[in-house]
Amino acid sequence: MKKKISTKDIRLKIMNALSRREHSEKEIYLKFINLVDSKNNLLEEIVKLKEEGLISNQRYAEAYIRSRFHSGFGPVRIKYELGKKGVIETTIIKAFQETDLDWDDKLKSEFKKKYESNEVKNLNINKISKFFLYRGFDLEKISKLIKSN
In SS3 terms, 50-94 reads as HHCCCCCHHHHHHHHHHHHHHCCCCHHHHHHHHHHCCCCHHHHHH
CA 138 to each of CA 70, 113, 134: distance values in angstroms, whole numbers, following the listed order: 17, 18, 10
Domain containing 11 equals 7-51
Identify which has the larger pLDDT, 147 or 26.
26
pLDDT at 1 over 60: no
Distance CA 79, CA 96 (A): 9
- Give the mean pLDDT of 27-43: 92
Do both 125 and 107 map to the same domain? yes
- Tell me the percentage of the chain whose pLDDT exceeds 70: 94
Number of domains in the chain: 3
Mean pLDDT of the chain: 91
**What pLDDT does 74 receive?**
97
In a domain, 1, yes or no: no
pTM recorded for the entire structure: 0.88
